[in-house]
Amino acid sequence: MFRKLPEPGSPLVTVTVDGQPLRVPVTFSAAAAVLLYGGISRTTPVSGSPRAPYCMMGVCFECLMEIDGAPNRQACLVTVAEGMHISRQRGARRAET
Amino acid sequence: MNADCDLAIVGAGPAGLAAAATAAGLGLKAVVLDEQPEPGGQIYRSVERVATTRTAHLPLLGDDYAAGLDLVRRFRATNVDYRPQTAVWQIDRDLTLRYRDARGIGNLQARQLLIATGALERSMPLPGWTLPGVMTCGAAQVLLKSAGMVPDGKVILAGSGPLLFLLASQLVRAGVKPAAVLETTTYTRSALLHGPRFALAPGYLAKGLSMMGALRSAGVPLRRGVRGLRIAGTERAERVEYERHGVRYAEPADLVLLHQGVVPNVNLALSLRCEHEWDDLARCFRPRLDSWGASSVPGVLIAGDGGGIMGAKASELSGSVAALAAAHALGRISRQDRDRSASALRNELGRHLRARPFLDTLYRPAQEYVAPRDPDTIVCRCEEVRAGEIRRLVTGQGCPGPNQMKAFVRCGMGPCQGRLCGLTVTELIAECRGVPQQEVGYYRIRPPVKPVTVADLASMDIDV
């Protein structure tokens, strides 16, 4: 869906998306990291349909993801950091029984 | 009142940055709170970083983008208290700002407030627009500016407005040739009436022509008069279908970028109960402001696109005008000094605003893309409420307005708080009821306008 233009010498960090390690520039947002690898950000709580980051400017909330254990973060507003764990949110949250 | 600052500015785009620089120059203690990690807003997003560490990308984005660097540097040269990655989620009538940053939540008491939250892209609800592989043109531009990312595979741009062509020409410069630009603009002749004034606005006509010329010489297919646009796919966008001159077409696409203009981002102003009115030409609500940017709420000023779409240069000027008004309201400059300083800014502002009637008339969105006809089109993306259901509730159940629609189907009650469906719901109800949008009104927006957790609220130090 997207590719990175050459940017020699830019420092990279390793983040994981659903446990998969990805190398991305240190300046990336978590949403940009997800898009670079063609991924979706979540499935909806209503119908479970897949969604990907949509507006990239903090408006649409389609990029709500779990980041370092905190759910419902707007991934387009979070800058990546070394070792960051980014997880897709799947459907509605269910109470643990 | 023990204020923490003279002027709190929400938003670090052209209006907010110019206001901050002007306020600082007048000796005001100004604070700028902005959601993003870098100053510039969406229009000048990441411009400092592009100019220093990604210089090869600067020419791709063009001169208008690079020009933002001057403004950002002017802002950086001041002693303004700049707080990036800070989301304002509530403002009280006494101008207490409640925000969330990396450390948690905090308060700030201001004497004057400037809302400079800019614009957001008008939604373009059509079948398939929620599929992965569909984004806005603005989103693709943000990725290019902030991350140096470009679309890969077959990309189709669709909709209406200058950004459609600007993005297409930036992509061409970046070596990405769009498979097609599908234009939904209806090209009414009435726009021509405003052509002569448009031609007098500084640089606008030349830029438009040069963008179109670049697309033509790159051989980007430009298809006008596109109707019945829809995106097909199961798990992601696979193709775009549309009608032109009575013929149906289907084109494969890996990425579809939609756009039909920008509208004021009014959530914060609405949450403060600033009066708003329907702008029928621009097809959106805008706050009622005086010539200084003062809203109906005492001490609350609004500048830039958030007060009505005017573009980056005009936003910058209106930010400075609002800062002068704030300085005068605080008794820091005389009326004469305020008026004298504002006069040159306003002349320049007027020159830029000459472009608007033509652009607003030419790119006024078509009815089928603001009030979708296909009943299965999702209108509220968060709660997955479809156009057919909204129409049925209005015509069959007598649902009169957007706030009643919330009670029926939770429309506008998801995490985006109506930012993406608000105008569509107003337009649909207005069409079904046969009344003006002003009469239908808009969602009642309540704080928090940005998400806060219950734990955040529990940690607040408040007197009860």
Q: What is the pLDDT of residues A4-58, one digit of tens each?
A: 999 888 899 999 999 999 999 999 999 999 999 888 999 999 999 999 999 999 9
The nearest CA of chain A is from the CA of B2 a distance in Å of 32
Nearest to A55 among B136, B147, B255 (CB): B136
Give the model's pLDDT for residue B457.
87
DSSP per-residue string spanning B313-332: HHHHHHHHHHHHHHHHHTTS
Which residues have a Cβ under 8 Å from the Cβ of B136 and sit 6 or more positions away?
A: A54, A55, A56, B121, B257, B258, B259
ipTM score for this prediction: 0.97
Say yes or no for a CB contact (<8 Å) between A61 and B415. yes
Nearest to A36 among B130, B139, B149 (CB): B149
Q: How many other C-beta atoms are found inside a 10 Å radius of the C-beta of residue A26? A: 12
Given a cut of 80, is residue A97 above it in pLDDT?
A: no
pLDDT truncated to tens, each residue of chain B (464 aa)? 589 999 999 999 999 999 999 999 999 999 999 999 999 999 999 999 999 999 999 999 999 999 999 999 999 999 999 999 999 999 999 999 999 999 999 999 999 999 999 999 999 999 999 999 999 999 999 999 999 999 999 999 999 999 999 999 999 999 999 999 999 998 778 898 999 999 999 999 999 999 999 999 999 999 999 999 999 999 999 999 999 999 999 999 999 999 999 999 999 999 999 999 999 999 999 999 999 999 999 999 999 999 999 999 999 999 999 999 999 999 999 999 999 999 999 999 999 999 999 999 999 999 999 999 999 999 999 999 999 999 999 999 999 999 999 999 999 999 999 999 999 999 999 999 999 999 999 999 999 999 898 888 888 876 65
- Nearest CA-CA partner of B463 in B113, B107, B111, B110: B107
A10 interaction partners in chain B (CB closer than 8 Å): 53-54
What's the longest Cα–Cα distance across chain B? Answer: 67
How many interface pairs between A and B have CB atoms less than 8 angstroms apart? 120
Say yes or no for a CB contact (<8 Å) between B35 and A1. no
Query: Is-contact B8 B108, C-beta < 8 A?
Result: yes
Say yes or no for a CB contact (<8 Å) between B143 and A47. no
Tell me the residue type at B426: T
Give the model's pLDDT for residue B381.
98
Give the model's pLDDT for residue B352.
96
25-64 in B: which are within 8 Å (CB) of A?
35-37, 42, 46, 49, 53-54, 56-57
Whether the ω angle into residue B84 lies within 30 degrees of 0, i.e. cis, is no
| Separation of alpha carbons B462 and B449, rounded Å | 19
A53 interaction partners in chain B (CB closer than 8 Å): 135, 139
What's the longest Cα–Cα distance across chain A? Answer: 50
A72 interaction partners in chain B (CB closer than 8 Å): 415, 451
Task: State the sign of the Cα–Cα–Cα–Cα dihedral A40, A41, A42, A43.
Answer: negative
| Separation of alpha carbons B283 and B427, rounded Å | 9
| Separation of alpha carbons B409 and B397, rounded Å | 12
Give the model's pLDDT for residue A9.
83
| Separation of alpha carbons B49 and B338, rounded Å | 35
Query: Is-contact B89 B449, C-beta < 8 A?
Result: yes
Counting runs of H as helices and runs of E as strands, what totals does chain A give?
1, 9
| Separation of alpha carbons B376 and B333, rounded Å | 57
68-87 in B: which are within 8 Å (CB) of A?
85, 87
């659903």: which residue's tokens?
A18
| Separation of alpha carbons B304 and B81, rounded Å | 20
Give the model's pLDDT for residue B464.
52
User: Hey, what are B152's tokens?
Assistant: 């890969």
User: Hey, what are B97's tokens?
Assistant: 């700002």
Give the model's pLDDT for residue B461.
73
253-282 in B: which are within 8 Å (CB) of A?
254-255, 265
Sort B269 into a burial class: Cβ within 10 Å, 0-12 / 13-18 / 19+: buried
The nearest CA of chain B is from the CA of A97 a distance in Å of 22
Say yes or no for a CB contact (<8 Å) between B138 and A3. no
Query: Is-contact B209 B283, C-beta < 8 A?
Result: no
Residue A12 forms beta bridges with which residues? A25
Confidence at A94, pLDDT banded by 50, 70, 90: confident
Nearest to A51 among B46, B87, B130 (CB): B130
Residue B425 forms beta bridges with which residues? none
User: Hey, what are A12's tokens?
Assistant: 């990279």
Is A68 in a helix, a strand, or coil?
coil
Is residue A89 within a helix (H) or strand (E), and if so which, with residue range? strand A89-90
β-pair type (B96-101, B87-91): antiparallel
Residue B249 forms beta bridges with which residues? B242
Query: Is-contact B284 B122, C-beta < 8 A?
Result: yes
